[in-house]
Amino acid sequence: MANLKAVRERITSVGNTQQITKAMKMVSAAKLRRAQTAVQQIRPFADKQNEMLRNILSNLGDQANTTFGTERPPKKVCVVVVTSNRGLCGAFNTNVIKSAILAIEEKYADALREGNLTILPIGKKGHDALRKRYPNATIIRDYIEIFSDLSFDNVAQVSQRLMDGFENGSFDAVSVSFGRFKNAATQFPETEQWLPVPKIEASGKAKADYVFEPGMEELLKSLVPSILQTTFQKYLLDTHASEHGARMTAMDKATENANEMLKDLKLMYNKARQEAITGEILEIVGGAAALESA
Tens of pLDDT along 56-73?
Answer: 777 766 656 678 888 899
pLDDT of residue 2: 55
Residue 52 has pLDDT above 90, yes or no: no
Residue 236: predicted pLDDT: 97
| Torsion angles phi and psi, residue 91, rounded to 5 | -95, 15
The helix/strand/coil state of 180 is strand
Residue 230 binned pLDDT confidence (cut-offs 50, 70, 90): very high
Q: Output the pLDDT for position 214.
A: 72
Asked if residue 151 lies in contact with residue 160, where contact means CB atoms within 8 angstroms, the answer is no
Question: Residue 257: pLDDT band by 50, 70, 90 thresholds?
Answer: very high
78 included as an active-site residue:
no
* Helix and strand numbers, DSSP H then E, in the chain: 6, 5
Taking a C-beta distance cutoff of 8 angstroms, is the pair 121, 165 a contact?
A: no
CATH superfamily of 19-251: ATP synthase, F1 complex, gamma subunit (3.40.1380.10)
Q: Is the pLDDT of residue 204 over 60?
A: no
Q: Where are the domains of the chain?
A: 4-13+255-286, 19-251
Q: Which residue has the higher pLDDT, 163 or 58?
A: 163
In the beta sheet, which residues pair with residue 192?
176
- Supply the DSSP symbol for 68: G
pLDDT score for 202: 53
> Once rounded to an integer, what is the mean pLDDT over residues 3-14?
90
Ranking 94-98, 159-163, 255-259, 289-293 by mean pLDDT, the lowest is: 289-293
How high is the pLDDT of residue 200? 65
pLDDT at res. 4 = 84
pLDDT at res. 63: 59
Candidates 42, 57, 60, 89; catalytic one: 89
The strand pair at 173-183 and 138-139 is best described as unpaired
pLDDT digits (tens, 9 = 90+) for 69-88: 888 999 999 999 999 999 99
Does the predicted model carry a pTM greater than 0.85?
Answer: yes
Q: What is the mean pLDDT of the chain?
A: 89
Query: What is the strand order of the sheet 138-139 is part of?
Result: 138-139, 117-122, 77-82, 173-183, 186-195
